[in-house]
Structure 1
Amino acid sequence: MRLDTAQLAAFAAAVHHGSFEAAAGELHVTRSAVSQRVKTLEERVGQVLLRRSTPVEATAAGEALLRYVQQAQLLEQQALKQMGATAGSEAAPKLSIVVNADSLSTWFLPALAPISERHGALFNLIVEDQDHSAELLRQGRAHAAVTAEPQAVQGCRVQTLGTMNYLAVCSPAFMQRWFAGGVNADSLAVAPMLVFNAKDDLQHRYLRTITRRRIAPPQHRVPSSTAFLDLAGMGMAWGMVPEAMAREALRTGRVVELQPGQPLPVTLHWQTWKLQSELMRDLAAAVRQAFGASDQGR
């Protein structure tokens, strides 16, 4: 069975953008053309590939096909660039990378510049919690991910990067107000706490290191790594902040640790598709170098 490239492109674009309308804009065709191409592809493979929801999502069968399409597109883009067959963004390899917000705010960005310069790559960075980022690899929506998951996703390879240490911090005034009697289950149950989003488990993981009780502190949801530190310094709540990010604020006394000298370590891994590709090899090396050159946990 030979699959039609235009149909595959329509399918992949619909998943990537989450709608037929946005896919049509990328492909410079009508919405009905995208819909018809996907429908014809589904008839050809004999399976439903997309859930017509908002946003559009791939089914289990669609996820398997999407991984193939994404890999084929990446290899084609690289080949075109190496051949000099086309110019501009159409030949530029496009990479979707999942990275947690704390890594993005501390050590990850220096990995991108050499890859952009050497390969002319374009990046789609997807921010996702490190405990959930590997799921986007399984769905075929990303080429690579910074993840806390040590087991390789099917069709991927995994490399351990190292450990990011997180510190539980708050302002000195907050410490005096809420923890004057000690950092324990009773005080932690009532002291306001910062969480990144509903998936953020770091604070609760820290709580479990102190108490076995099920406690539900008041929460501020703040989807920003730098805002975590800022709000902790303002005395609004306590939260888990990467040690590298908190170090200067600790030095100046803007924040203090709830339990000095007791960081919460999180081991990070780099997972990427098993592509025999110079681009992916260079990207993996750049990510390892960027993490190694950073001051995580030092």
Structure 2
Amino acid sequence: MLDYPALAAVSAVVREGSFERAAARLGVTPSAISQRIRALEDRLGGIVIVRGQPCLPTDLGRKLCAHVDQVQLLEADLAPALAVEGRPSDPPVTLRVAVNSDSIATWFPRAAARFAQATGYLLEFIIEDEEFTADRLRSGEVIAAVSADPGVVQGCQTIELGSLPYLACCSPDFAARYFPHGVTEQALRAAPCLRFERRDGLQSRWAMENHGLALDAPMHGVPSTFGFLNFSIAGMAWGMHPSMLARPHMAEGRLVELTPNTPLDVKLYWTVTRLHVSALRIFTDAVRSVARESLKPPR
């Protein structure tokens, strides 16, 4: 049998980032937290927490935290049937979810709000590029993810939600300076563009799919959806923007498309752990409902 007080200590340290804050959350001393984790590591024969600022889980620690999250969900689901009430000191159930920044900035908050209102659960979001959110699920860091990855994740179900359309946009002044004759290979090579982080390939994908051109341009790294908008509006670079965010600025003349009517659709999927608990069914229903209202339907 696993030592669940020790697992709770591991989970609290990972969530709070330090032994002191974890102790305050669980209502014990930092020394008690340290003793529990040390005893667990001795029993398992491996390190579960890398001490630091903040403290971080090892691969084994992440797996244990995922197990604790699933146990909490199962216990919360059983409580009404057993007529068991949580103690006032019990922390509320928190679900960790990986979501791409553009979904957080557009359609996903409505789904999250519906779930939180229906269940009273808390949510903790891991922000990641949509191409890699499923990796967070595979590593055990999260219990569900919005992803562009349709691949199978062991122990999970994957549901296609629809597509989020993107537009290649820049300010009118930027277009006049760098693209006076439209999108050409020479112009694309000279014009600075934005990318969310090093693995972000949307700009390159748009250039290849719409113009057959390989993108080899100066790139600004901006890990923020609204940073993309603000820097594009300011005339610093061009980038790929969710259509629902870009179009109001296009209507006001602050943004223009590099090439009119060349959207890039990114398919999104909801991948969620296969636990038979009501909370995940409620969450999945909320995500699918809002996706139907907001995204381009699956083909």
TM-score, normalised via structure 1 length: 0.89
| Residue matched to 1:178 | 178
Check whether the contact 1:20–1:35 (CA below 8 A) recurs between aligned residues: yes
What is the identity, as a one-letter code, of the residue corresponding to 1:215?
A: D
- For the residues of structure 1 that align with 2:164 and 2:71, how far apart are their CA atoms? 34
| Partner Cα distance (1:241, 1:196) in 2 | 11
Structure 2: distance between partners of 1:251 and 1:188? 25
Q: In the alignment, what sits opposite 1:20?
A: 19
SS class of match (2:47) = coil
Give the structure 1 partner of residue 273 of structure 2.
273
1:243-262 map, 5 Å: 243-262=243-262
Q: 1:52 to 1:92 in 2, by over 3 A?
A: closer
Hey, what does 1:294 align to over in structure 2? Answer: 294
What stretches of structure 1 of length at least 5 have no aligned partner?
Answer: none
- Percent of aligned positions that are identical: 41
Runs of 5+ unmatched residues, structure 2 = none
Moved more, 62-71 or 275-284: 62-71
SS at match of 2:98: strand
Indicate whether 1:215 and 2:216 are aligned. yes
For the aligned residues, what is the CA RMSD? 2.4
Secondary structure at the counterpart of residue 166 of structure 1: strand
Distance verdict in 2 for CA 1:102–1:118, change over 3 Å: same
Task: Tell me how far 1:290 sits from its aligned partner.
Answer: 0.7
After superposition, residues 31-110 of structure 1 pair within 5 angstroms as 31-80=30-79, 83=83, 85-86=85-86, 90=90, 92-110=92-110
1:5 deviation in Å? Answer: 1.3
Q: Secondary structure at the match of 2:37?
A: helix
| Offset, 1:212 | 5.1
Residue 149 of structure 1 aligns to a residue in which SS?
Answer: coil
TM-score normalised by the chain length of structure 2? 0.89
The CA distance in 2 between the partners of 1:138 and 1:263, in whole Å, is 31
How far off is 1:88 after superposition? 5.5
Provide the C-alpha distance between the structure 2 equivalents of 1:294 and 1:88, rounded to a whole number of angstroms. 38
Q: Distance in 2 between matches of 1:231 and 1:296?
A: 27
Q: Is the 8 A contact 2:164 2:295 kept in 1?
A: no
Note closer, same or farther for the CA distance 1:96–1:133 as it changes in structure 2 (3 Å cut): same
Counterparts in 2 of 1:103 and 1:34: CA distance versus 1, 3 Å = same
Partner SS, residue 103 of structure 1: helix
Q: Which moved more, 1:263-272 or 1:182-191?
A: 182-191
Contact 1:111/1:290 (8 A) holds in 2: yes
Structure 1 residues 63 and 92: CA distance shift in structure 2, 3 A: closer
Q: After alignment, is 156-165 or 34-43 more displaced?
A: 34-43
- Cα deviation, residue 64, structure 1: 2.8
Cα distance in structure 2, aligned partners of 1:151 and 1:18: 32
- Cα deviation for residue 39 of structure 1 reads 1.6
Conserved 8 A contact 1:244-1:295: no
Query: How many equivalent pairs are there?
Result: 296
